[in-house]
Amino acid sequence: MSSSLTEAVVARLCTVGAVPKEQDLYSGAGTDFYDRLVGPDRAEIREMLALARDTEGPILDLAAGTGRLTVPLVRSGKRVTAIDLSDDMLARLRRALPEHAMLECVVADMRDFSLPQQFGLVIIGATSITLLDRVARSLLYANVRRHLAPHGVFAFTLAGDASAQTFSVSTDREIEVPGPDGAETYLFSQQVEEDGAARVVNWVRAADLTEGGEVTVLTSRLRVLDRAELSRELVEAGFSVPAISPVRTLGGEDIVLLTTTCAGHSEERDADASR
Ligand SMILES: C[S@@+](CC[C@H](N)C(=O)[O-])C[C@H]1O[C@@H](n2cnc3c(N)ncnc32)[C@H](O)[C@@H]1O
């Protein structure tokens, strides 16, 4: 059976006689940690705003989380529907833009959702497509197609080849995470599984590693995917071959943006442009 805990974290807790308390990264105490870890990251915002500028009609932000991308899109004047599986994550988004007329938050699964309208742009940021396995991605693609307006654009991010290499090795190290009272040290543990097709990631606050205590271990499980595989899947699912462009990142992380439309619509758009 697959575990949410890495062997390294289990061993580390064992050495101090501590008991793990598993906590999904995207609910409960995980949401605060996620916001501290990723919230200040401005990566992808510029690219998504550029796509939004060329979009007519509303935008759908899938796996929107605490609104790292949603908030700037709404502030740019766009009407956005934000979907996320976690009400805890969306609660933070709602707090950031209370009662905003241009924002709708929907607790739903990106594998299975049904909204009354279609969207000019559907996005998935923060490489969150890697939260889904192959079957789940097929369901996602079918749902995106149903919700995409004619000529609408589907765009999502993925780790580029250089970053993806770091996902192929199990690793354990200390990281500094910003907090209200200054940075805190966390153990970051990544365990590669399924012959490199998946990775389990854990974070543990170093200060919590006390003798015999209960220690919260934040967990996530991700697929390791590359652009060629996803391009093939998109075409199989009825999308056109995606355009792939680099995302500008401050820390130099290698992230790419895949942009596609329903097959047939990109050719029509090219023909319209040449008339
Ligand atoms: C990495 S965060 C991304 C948040 C935000 N888009 C960003 O750029 O920071 C991933 C989000 O996906 C959500 N999530 C995970 N599985 C999901 C699913 N099947 N359907 C919808 N949301 C999901 C999690 O709750 C979490 O908020």
Each residue of 126-139: pLDDT tens digit? Answer: 999 999 999 999 99
Which tokens hold the place of 25? 């990264």
Q: Which of 85, 87, 114 to mutate to test the pocket of ligand 1 (most atoms within 8 A of CB)?
A: 85
Instruction: Say which residue, 236 or 211, is predicted with more confidence.
Output: 236
Task: Tell me which residue range forms the domain holding 265.
Answer: 38-160+227-274
Do 250 and 213 share a structural domain? no
| Beta carbon of 221 within 6 Å of any ligand 1 atom | no
| Beta carbon of 110 within 6 Å of any ligand 1 atom | yes
Average pLDDT over residues 82-96: 98
Do 208 and 76 share a structural domain? no
| Beta carbon of 124 within 6 Å of any ligand 1 atom | no
Do 42 and 108 share a structural domain? yes
CB count, 10 Å around CB of 246?
A: 11
Do 236 and 144 share a structural domain? yes
Residue 145 has pLDDT above 50, yes or no: yes
Each residue of 14-46: pLDDT tens digit? Answer: 999 999 999 999 999 999 999 999 988 899 999
Do 81 and 93 share a structural domain? yes
| Beta carbon of 72 within 6 Å of any ligand 1 atom | no
**pLDDT score recorded for residue 268:** 52
Which residue's CA is minimally distant from atom 2 of ligand 1?
A: 65
Which tokens hold the place of 18? 């501590």
Average pLDDT over residues 262-267: 73
Do 139 and 114 share a structural domain? yes
* Mean pLDDT of the chain, nearest integer: 93
Whether the model pTM is above 0.75: yes
- β-pair partners for 124: 62, 156
- Order the strands of the 103-107 sheet from edge to edge: 103-107, 80-84, 59-62, 119-124, 148-159, 255-260, 243-246
Q: From the CA of 158, how far away is ligand 1's center (Å)?
A: 14
